Amino acid sequence: MSDLSGKNLLITGAGNGLGHAMALHLAGCGAQLVIADIDEPALAALSEKIQAISGNTPLSVVLDVSSEEQWQAAASTIAQQLGYLTGLVNNAGIMLHVPFQEMTLEQFRQTLQVNVEGVFLGCQNCLPLLELGAKEAGSSSIVNISSIFGHVAGLMHSAYAASKGAVNMFSKSLANELPRQGLNIRTNTVHPGVMSAGVSIAGTQAAIDRGVFSSAEEAGQVLMMGNPYGRPGQPEEIPGAIAFLLSDASLLMNGAEITLDGGHTA
Ligand code: NAI
């Protein structure tokens, strides 16, 4: 387990799915957390679990990552309550499962607003807090959650794939730009594969509903084709890599991509 004591970390989309598993793990590693989501009841439930695990009360922020105003307010609250951040995990994301011929411009834009503009706004609004954190602790770390579908094509989620491809190159650009400006802030991406939770489950169900697959069994077989593990990932198998990227054990990692897919895209 990575040692994250003394770290102040913000994670978006923390209320459910992978973000929830990440938050519990990071709290267990000793970090002071800021948990953010649009789902207020989920934040309240998570906050109780974190207190039980670590004895620490996380700072809960109701935040729509696609809203500039809400990011500004969140950054101001964090500055007042914690002073600085040493890590930011841009995890909140959506995946609409719509065939390309039927996808509306509004759906395409909505995906990019949450998955790409949300990451841009998170990085920009947290930059001063991360800069302060780097001065305080030596370095700060941004982890942007991408997907294997930022590298390989899937079915019925062209907007999602476009958004994750954008997150990849946006992240590499920050990795190149920030240190050259004297900022001790690293930026890396994590690429989960098909998971047993969250957007993968919704995607599989949408494909079954549309007759792409005749059953959950068939969907499972097709989706796992080429996956040497023959099974989807579990949410608990993601946070270890995130904790590593947020820790001082990965100081030379900047602009890197960590793929967590059991070898699916190998
Ligand atoms: P999920 O749907 O289970 O959870 C997403 C969380 O983000 C929810 O708590 C939701 O309330 C929150 N959220 C949604 N829109 C938001 C917004 N505008 N502002 C703030 N919070 C918002 O999704 P999951 O699967 O946990 O996905 C998390 C991240 O992991 C996403 O970036 C997704 O693209 C990525 N990912 C997920 C995979 C999977 O199979 N579950 C595979 C690869 C990547």
Residue pLDDT, tens place only, 130-152: 999 999 999 999 999 999 999 99
Mean of per-residue pLDDT scores for the chain: 96
Average pLDDT over residues 78-106: 97
Domain boundaries, the chain: 8-195+235-260
Q: What is the CATH number of domain 8-195+235-260?
A: 3.40.50.720
DSSP for 236-256? Answer: GGSHHHHHHHHSGGGTT--S-
Q: Report the atom number in ligand 1 closest to the C-alpha of 16.
A: 9
pLDDT score, position 207: 85
pTM for the complete prediction? 0.98
* pLDDT exceeds 90 at position 172: yes
pLDDT score, position 211: 85
- The two tokens of residue 6 are 């003394």
Q: Give the angle 8-122-66 at the CA atoms, nearest 5°.
A: 135
pLDDT score, position 49: 98
CA distance 85 to 143: 13
Average pLDDT over residues 58-83: 98
ipTM exceeding 0.90, yes/no:
yes
pLDDT score, position 223: 84
Does residue 114's CB lie within 6 angstroms of at least one atom of ligand 1? yes
Mutate to test the pocket of ligand 1, among 38, 88, 160, 204 (most ligand atoms within 8 A of CB): 38
